[in-house]
């Protein structure tokens, strides 16, 4: 026994190395290869997989501040979802999410497309101007929110001062304090934040359209708008679908623009599903309800993600 025991121990590690090799020829190599991907796999599992699962189970539990002291989170079935959908804020939040997303995408896309087409021309300073145009996208969103909050201030903000000076408004508009316009204000700011991304992607797409197409069309008399409708738009369609769907998925989860500008107010005028989820979890400490809200958000995102993946596949294929 005493003799055998150490020997097996000594042999075991040495034998372990060639053992897999006997089973498969390139096994050690295979392990090294897996090593390349293992950290990423673990990370994605821990920071995307786990949260999705945890969020789902939390939404079925009564998960509140108490849980952190007692460790108890009783299962409550779909009660949180009932709370969410019967809440007087659910309908408005859903509608606001839809309006916020639709308005933002429409504004970002139309302006982004116009700018991308404009910058397609060759002129001095083009490259420099185009990269400076990216700046609003690179700034921390909370910085943009803070800045816009000062611009949109009802009494002393520069926007109202400007509108008053040119005689467009009689009384200063409460951009962030009037429930009737607050959603429009946050949409405007989000459009501003999103324009650079749209320009960058659409401009990239425009560069890939062969110049000969335009030359051929010009011979047939198609220039300007005609060329845009008959050549630019159809050739750009795969990129457009990617830009739009990606825009929707990114806009659905926007939180910092709204929290920085209005915090969901005034009078809940800028509550969206993402804001609701944040406030239930981290302001009211109703984590179960908060996660139910965010699961609704995931579901909506997922629908668009599927559309995205299909559009993306087509864009890469073509």
Partner 1 sequence: MTTLSAPPLRVPAPGTARRRIPAWVYSLIGVLILAVMLFPIYWMVNASLQPSGNTLTAGLFPLNPDFSGYEKALRDQGGNLVTSLIIATGTVVLTLLIAAPAAYALAQFRFRWIGAALMIIIVAQMVPGVVIANALYSAYNDLGMLNSLAGLILADASHAIPFAILILRTSMLAIPPSIVEAARIDGAGLVRAFMSVVVPISRNVLITAALFAFLFSWSDFLFALTLTTTEEVRPVTLGIYQYLGTQVSNWSAVMATAVLSSIPAIILLVLAQKFIAAGATGGAVK
Find the binding residues for partner 1 in span 183-222 (CB under 8 A): 192, 195-197, 200-201, 204-205, 218, 221
| Three-state DSSP class for residue 286 | strand
Q: Token pair for residue 199? A: 């320009």
> How many of the chain's residues bind partner 1 (CB under 8 A)?
103
Does 52 sit near partner 1 (CB under 8 A)?
Answer: yes
Distance CA 85, CA 231 (A): 46
Considering only 6, 13, 124, 167, the residue that binds partner 1 (CB under 8 A) is: 124
Distance CA 311, CA 130 (A): 27
| Three-state DSSP class for residue 98 | helix
Is residue 257 within 8 Å of 28, Cβ to Cβ? no
Considering only 102, 132, 168, 216, the residue that binds partner 1 (CB under 8 A) is: 132
Q: C-alpha distances in angstroms, 92 versus 98, 99, 174, 181, 286?
A: 10, 10, 20, 15, 20
- In the region spanning residues 258 to 317, those forming contacts with partner 1, defined by CB under 8 A, are 259-260, 274, 277-278, 281-282, 287, 290-291, 294-295, 297-298, 301, 304-305, 308-309, 312, 315-316
Does 182 sit near partner 1 (CB under 8 A)?
Answer: no
Position of tokens 């969410």? 84
CB of 2 to partner 1, least distance (A): 39
CB of 122 to partner 1, least distance (A): 7
Considering only 118, 172, 266, 268, the residue that binds partner 1 (CB under 8 A) is: 118
Considering only 10, 19, 82, 129, the residue that binds partner 1 (CB under 8 A) is: 129
- In the region spanning residues 141 to 180, those forming contacts with partner 1, defined by CB under 8 A, are 141-151, 153, 156-158
- In the region spanning residues 73 to 112, those forming contacts with partner 1, defined by CB under 8 A, are none
Stretch that binds partner 1, among 81-89, 100-108, 134-142, 176-184 (CB under 8 A): 134-142
Does 126 sit near partner 1 (CB under 8 A)?
Answer: yes
| Closer of 12 and 169 to partner 1 (Cβ) | 169
First-residue to last-residue Cα distance in the chain: 70
Distance CA 228, CA 244 (A): 19
- Give 288: exposed, middle or buried? Use CB within 10 Å, 0-12, 13-18, 19+: buried
């Amino acid at each position: 026994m005493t003799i055998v025991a150490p020997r097996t121990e000594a042999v075991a590690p040495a034998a372990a190395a060639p053992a897999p090799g006997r089973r498969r020829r390139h096994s050690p190599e295979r392990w090294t290869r897996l090593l390349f991907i293992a950290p990423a796999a673990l990370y994605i599992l821990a920071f995307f997989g786990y949260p999705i699962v945890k969020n789902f189970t939390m939404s079925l539990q009564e998960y509140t501040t108490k849980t952190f002291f007692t460790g108890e989170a009783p299962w409550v079935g779909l009660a949180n979802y009932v709370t969410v959908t019967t809440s007087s804020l659910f309908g408005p939040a859903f509608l606001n999410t839809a309006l916020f997303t639709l308005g933002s995408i429409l504004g970002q896309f139309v302006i982004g497309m116009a700018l991308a087409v404009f910058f397609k021309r060759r002129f001095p300073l083009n490259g420099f101007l185009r990269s400076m145009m990216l700046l609003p996208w690179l700034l921390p969103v909370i910085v943009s929110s803070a800045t816009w909050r000062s611009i949109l201030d009802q009494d002393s903000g520069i926007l109202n001062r400007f509108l008053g000076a040119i005689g467009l408004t009689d009384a200063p508009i409460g951009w962030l304090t009037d429930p009737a316009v607050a959603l429009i204000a946050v949409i405007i700011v989000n459009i501003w934040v999103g324009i650079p991304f749209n320009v960058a992607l659409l401009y990239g797409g425009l560069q890939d359209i062969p110049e000969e197409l335009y030359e051929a069309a010009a011979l047939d008399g198609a220039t300007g708008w005609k060329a845009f409708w008959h050549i630019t738009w159809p050739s750009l369609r795969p990129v457009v679908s990617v830009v739009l769907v990606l825009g929707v998925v990114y806009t659905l989860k926007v939180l910092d623009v709204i929290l920085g500008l209005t915090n969901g107010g005034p009078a809940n005028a800028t509550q969206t599903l993402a804001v609701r989820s944040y406030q239930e979890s981290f302001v009211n400490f109703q984590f179960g309800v908060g996660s139910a809200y965010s699961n609704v958000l995931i579901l909506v995102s997922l629908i668009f993600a599927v559309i995205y993946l299909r559009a993306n596949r087509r864009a890469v294929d073509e």
